[in-house]
Amino acid sequence: MKNKVARDIPDDILAATQRQVFNGVDYGHPVTQRVAPKVRATTGGDKIVASIDEVVTKTVADGMTISFHHHFREGDYVFNQVMRSIIDHGYQNLTLAPSSLTNVMNDIVVEAIQKGVVTNITSSGMRGTLGDAVSHGLLAQPVIFRSHGNRARAIEHGEIKIDVAFLGVPNADDMGNANGMDGDAAFGSLGYALIDAQYADTLVLITDTMKPYPNTPASIKQTQVDYIVKVDAVGDPEKIGSGATRFTKDPKELKIAKTVNDVIVNSAYFKDGFSFQTGSGGAALAVTRFLRQAMLDHQIKASFALGGITKPTIDLLNEGLVARVMDVQDFDKGAAASMKGNRDQQEIDASWYADPANKGAMVDKLDVAILSALEVDTHFNVNVMSGSDGIIRGAIGGHQDAAMAKLTIISAPLVRGRIATIVPDVTTVITPGDAIDVVVTEVGIAINPKRHDLIDQLSNVPGLPVYTIEALQQKAEAIVGKPKPLAFTDRVVALAEYRDGTLIDVIKAVKD
C-alpha cells in the first residue's frame, strides 16, 4: 500500500507488524494509554552486584528485550561488556532496543545476530559493518528505525517493552542515584537514558565511580534502580565527545553556513525570543558562529537552543545571547562539562524533547531547525539513513522530530564527490517533504512551494539565489552525470517509522 510520500509499504509487512502507513505530519490530539513498569520492592541492601556476569544471570532470560543508551558514543565500554556476557551465557532470541548503535558496538552485535542471541533490533540507526551486514540480510526480522522522540513514544505505549535496561553512568551511589555530569567518563545530559530508567521493568546501572549517598543531582533516581555494578571503566573519555571544537575552514561549508544564516536572518522568525536547534556537523557549527554575529548586530536574543548541544552553543548561553539550553545530549566535552555548573543548561529527556504523543514537546515550540541530509529529493523528502550504495549507514536521530520546527532548513552540499545530494527520488524517505521548508546548498537555496510566506521573505535578498528544487537537482546531475538505479532484492531488512509510529518507508536488501 502506498503511503503519503508515495512509498509502497508491502501488505505482508503491514499485516505482520500491525502498522499503518504514514499519512501526514500532523499528529492531532489522540488520547492514548501509557504502560507502567513492574517494580520489585527493596530497601536497597541487595542492589550492589559484584560483576556484570552475575547481574546478567540474575536479570536476563531468553526472549527478553534489553536496552542501552548511546551517550558514551564511540567511547562506550558498557555495551560490549554486557553483550559479551550475554553471548557467553548463551541466551537466545533477545530484542536489542538501544537509543542508538555506534561503530564501537558493531562487531559484537554482528556476532550476537550470527549466534541467534539477538533476533530483533530497534534503534535510531546503525552504520559500518553492522549496517552492511543488515543490508545484506543477516537479520531474519526487519530492524525498526525510530527517531528519538518516537522511541520515547513507543516505550511509553508499550510498543517497546524493556525487560532489562543496562545503563552506563559516570557516577552513582549505592542506591542508584546517578547523573551524567561527574566522573572520568562524564558525558553531560542523560536525556535518552531517562526514558529507559522510567519504563524498564529491571534497571541495572553500571558505573566506575561510586559516590557517597545521597548523590545529587540525581537524574536517575534510586526509586528506579534495581542493581548497580561497579566496573573499572565505563567509557573512554577521549572518544565520548569530540575535543575542542574547531570551526571549519572548508570554503564550501562556510558558504553553506553563511547562506543558512542569511535564510534565518531574513525570515520572519528572526526576532527577539526566537529558538533554534543546530546539529554537530562542520557547517552547523559555523552557522552558530554566523548566527552569533547576526544576533549581536540586530540586538536579538534567543529564548532557547534545543537538542544535541555543542560548546559554541554553550558560549552563546554564557554570553547572554541564549537564555536557556534545553539539552538532550552533549556532543563535545565543553558542552558536557558546563552542565554541572549552569542551571540554565537544562537536562531534558527524549519525551520532553521530541515525543509527539505527550502533552507538548520542546520541538513543538521550536522556531528554526538546521538539519543535514544524505539526500534530498525534488519532493523535499530527506534521507539520512541509506548511503549512495543503498546500504544502511545513518541514523534518524532527532531529524523527524526537529523538522517540526516552524522553519526547517536542510543544509547540504549540492554534490559529494560524484554523488548528487539533490536527487529526483531519495533512496529512503526518513523525513517527509511536508516538514521541510528550505534546502540550502553552496549554489543557492530552494524553498518548499507551499511556503508562500518564505518565498516572499527570501526571494529578493541580495546574494541569496533562489532556485526551484528541480533546478538544483538538474545542476547536481549536470556535474555528476546520471547514475544507474541501485539494485535491491524484494527482501525487507528494515522499517523506517515516522515519529507517530506509522511506516514511512522500508529498506530492502542490496543486490550484489
Partner 1 sequence: MEIKQTAIAGTLESSDVQIMLSQSHDGVTFDLVSDVAKQFDDAIKATITQVLAAYDVHNVLVKVVDKGALDMVIRARAITAVQRALDLADEPNWEVL
- Positions in the binding site for partner 1 (CB under 8 A): 388-390, 417-419, 479-481, 483-484, 486-487, 512
Q: Smallest distance, Å, CB 133 to partner 1? A: 18
Kindly state the cell numbers that stand for 68.
Answer: 542501552
Q: In sequence order, what are the residues at sequence separation of 6 or more whose Cβ sits closer than 8 angstroms to the Cβ of residue 435?
A: 25, 400, 403, 404, 408
Q: Cα dihedral sign for 40, 43, 46, 47?
A: positive
Q: In 3-state terms, what secondary structure has residue 386?
A: strand
Q: In sequence order, what are the residues at sequence separation of 6 or more whose Cβ sits closer than 8 angstroms to the Cβ of residue 462?
A: none
Cα Rg of the chain (Å, integer): 22
- Helix 78-88 to helix 106-114 angle, to the nearest 10 degrees? 20
Q: Smallest distance, Å, CB 488 to partner 1? A: 11
Q: How far apart are CA 142 and CA 507, in angstroms?
A: 9
- Please report how many Cα atoms fall inside a 13 Å half-sphere around the Cα of residue 403, on the Cβ side: 31
Q: Cα dihedral sign for 241, 243, 245, 246?
A: negative
**Considering beta carbons, is residue 452 or 511 the nearer one to partner 1?**
511
Q: Smallest distance, Å, CB 132 to partner 1? A: 13
Q: Smallest distance, Å, CB 390 to partner 1? A: 7
Look at phi and psi of residue 373 and say left if phi exceeds 0, alpha if psi is from -120 to 50, else beta.
beta
**Considering beta carbons, is residue 391 or 405 the nearer one to partner 1?**
391
**Considering beta carbons, is residue 390 or 398 the nearer one to partner 1?**
390
Q: How far apart are CA 389 and CA 218, in angstroms?
A: 45
Q: Smallest distance, Å, CB 389 to partner 1? A: 5
**Considering beta carbons, is residue 125 or 390 the nearer one to partner 1?**
390
Indicate the DSSP class of residue 172.
B
Indicate the DSSP class of residue 400.
H
Identify whether the C-beta of residue 381 lies closer than 8 Å to the C-beta of residue 5: yes
Q: Smallest distance, Å, CB 149 to partner 1? A: 33
**Considering beta carbons, is residue 272 or 512 the nearer one to partner 1?**
512
What are 494's strand-pairing partners? 143, 507
**Considering beta carbons, is residue 252 or 324 the nearer one to partner 1?**
252
- Helix 52-59 to helix 78-88 angle, to the nearest 10 degrees? 60
Q: Smallest distance, Å, CB 383 to partner 1? A: 15
**Considering beta carbons, is residue 138 or 480 the nearer one to partner 1?**
480
- Please report how many Cα atoms fall inside a 13 Å half-sphere around the Cα of residue 388, on the Cβ side: 12
Identify whether the C-beta of residue 269 lies closer than 8 Å to the C-beta of residue 291: no
Identify whether the C-beta of residue 166 lies closer than 8 Å to the C-beta of residue 204: yes
**Considering beta carbons, is residue 450 or 511 the nearer one to partner 1?**
511
**Considering beta carbons, is residue 212 or 485 the nearer one to partner 1?**
485
Q: Smallest distance, Å, CB 417 to partner 1? A: 3
**Considering beta carbons, is residue 442 or 497 the nearer one to partner 1?**
442
For 152-174, letters b (16+ CB in 10 Å) and e give: bbbbbbebbbbbbbbbbbbbbbb
Q: Smallest distance, Å, CB 90 to partner 1? A: 39
**Considering beta carbons, is residue 24 or 137 the nearer one to partner 1?**
137
Q: Smallest distance, Å, CB 227 to partner 1? A: 47
Q: Smallest distance, Å, CB 229 to partner 1? A: 44
The Cα-based distances of 260 to 198, 245, 267, 408 in angstroms read 38, 20, 11, 11
